[in-house]
Amino acid sequence: TAILEFENINVVYNAGHPNEVHALKEASGQIQEGELISIIGPSGCGKSTLLHTLDGLVRPASGSVSINGRKIEGPGGEKAMVFQDFALMPWHTVFQNVAFGLRLSGKSKNEIKDHVMHYIKMVGLEGFENKYPHQLSGGMKQRVGIARAFAVEPKILLMDEPFSAIDEQTREIMQEEVLKIMLNEKKTVIFITHSIDEAVFLSSRVFLMTVRPGRIITDLKIDIPYPRT
Ligand code: ADP
Ligand code: ADP
Q: Which ligand is nearest to the CA of 89?
A: 2
Q: Which ligand is nearest to the CA of 161?
A: 1
- Predicted TM-score (pTM) of this structure: 0.88
Pocket test for ligand 1, best of 10, 12, 48 (most atoms within 8 A of CB): 48
Asked if 6 and 65 touch (Cβ cutoff 8 Å), the reply is yes
Cβ of 49 closer than 6 Å to ligand 1, yes or no, is: yes
For residue 135, the CA-to-ligand 2 centroid distance in Å is 19
Q: Strands, DSSP E only, in the chain?
A: 4-13, 21-31, 36-40, 62-67, 70-71, 79-82, 156-160, 188-192, 205-209, 216-221
The percentage of residues in the chain with a pLDDT greater than 90, rounded to a whole number, is: 87
Predicted pLDDT at 211: 85
* Per-residue pLDDT tens digits for 161-220: 999 999 999 999 999 999 999 999 999 999 999 999 999 999 999 999 998 767 777 888
For residue 46, the CA-to-ligand 1 centroid distance in Å is 6
Cβ of 23 closer than 6 Å to ligand 1, yes or no, is: yes
Cβ of 52 closer than 6 Å to ligand 1, yes or no, is: no
Q: pLDDT band at residue 228, thresholds of 50, 70 and 90?
A: confident
- Ligand 1, residue 48: give the atom nearest the CA: 2
Cis omega (within 30 of 0) on the bond before 227?
A: yes
Does pLDDT of 68 surpass 90?
yes
**Residues 79-103, mean pLDDT to the nearest whole number:** 96
Cβ of 149 closer than 6 Å to ligand 1, yes or no, is: no
Alpha-carbon gap, residue 109 to 103, rounded angstroms: 9
Alpha-carbon gap, residue 198 to 137, rounded angstroms: 22
Alpha-carbon gap, residue 25 to 46, rounded angstroms: 10
Predicted pLDDT at 20: 94
Asked if 118 and 126 touch (Cβ cutoff 8 Å), the reply is no
Q: Atom 6, ligand 1: which residue's CA is nearest?
A: 46
- What ipTM was assigned to the predicted interfaces of this complex? 0.76
SS3 184: helix
Helix 138-151 to helix 168-184 angle, to the nearest 10 degrees?
A: 10
Q: Across the chain, which distance is largest between two alpha carbons, in Å?
A: 54
Predicted pLDDT at 145: 97
SS3 55: helix
* Per-residue pLDDT tens digits for 94-129: 999 999 989 888 899 999 999 999 999 999 999 999
- Ligand 1, residue 24: give the atom nearest the CA: 10
Asked if 196 and 166 touch (Cβ cutoff 8 Å), the reply is no
Predicted pLDDT at 227: 85
Helix 138-151 to helix 109-122 angle, to the nearest 10 degrees?
A: 130
Does pLDDT of 146 surpass 80?
yes
For residue 41, the CA-to-ligand 2 centroid distance in Å is 36
